[in-house]
Structure 1
Amino acid sequence: MKPEELDALIAGNVRAARARLRLRQEDLADEIGWSRPTVSSLEAGTRRITVSDAVALCRALKLTLPELLRGAPAEVFEALGVTPA
């Protein structure tokens, strides 16, 4: 999986989780300490996240890392040493 494809997959999972929780981009940004444009660029798939970003997103969106990566191929989970959700 190309990095851009993984970025897009994470973006979709973040959007879906935020919608499930009925959070606005502003709400998520406030929870994490980001700006709304930063959340917007993440959800557009144009912002790559760090491990610390993933932790903050999982906490704010009440997700596990495998849930954040839902839809990724097995090789991604194997590389991280986690079991898919």
Structure 2
Amino acid sequence: MGGVDQEELDALVAGNVRAARARLKLRQEDLADELGWSRPVVGTLENGNRRVTLADAVALCRALQISLPDLLAGAPADVFESLGIDRHKA
């Protein structure tokens, strides 16, 4: 991805996960239970210190009741283009 640094994308996804979890009034423990993860794994992800795999992204979207474009909200346009997502229609 030419337009975005991987660490920046990790931090962006981390912030979007935190925000979505807060909107649902879930604790990290609640999200971890929903995902079958441990609470420290959720914490590491929310701190931007854990890479999100495609399988993780699907599980997070399902657990947080958000779309992939919502999970990637704030990312540069080339991220959406690389994934074939029209962020304006999603």
TM-score (norm 1): 0.98
Q: What is the distance in 2 between the residues matched to 1:82 and 1:45? A: 23
Amino acid at match of 1:68: L
Aligned residue among 76, 80, 85 for 1:82? 85
1:48 paired residue among 47, 51, 63: 51
Q: Deviations over 1:30-65 (max 9, x none)?
A: 000100000000000000010000000000000000
| Structure 1: gaps of 5 or more residues | none
After superposition, the CA RMSD in angstroms is 0.6
Distance 2:69 2:8 in 1: 16
Counterpart Cα distance in 2 of 1:23 and 1:16? 10
- Which secondary structure does the structure 1 equivalent of 2:43 belong to? helix
Q: TM-score, normalised by structure 2?
A: 0.93
Of the two structures, which has the highest relative contact order with CA contacts closer than 8 Å and spacing of 6 or more? 2
SS at match of 2:85: coil
Using the aligned pairs only, state the percent identity: 72
State how far apart, in whole Å, the 1-side matches of 2:86 and 2:44 are: 28
In structure 1, how many angstroms separate the alpha carbons of the residues matched to 2:46 and 2:33? Answer: 15
Tell me by how many angstroms 1:83 deviates.
1.7
| Map of 2:30 onto structure 1 | 27
Task: Name the SS of the counterpart of 2:51 in structure 1.
Answer: coil
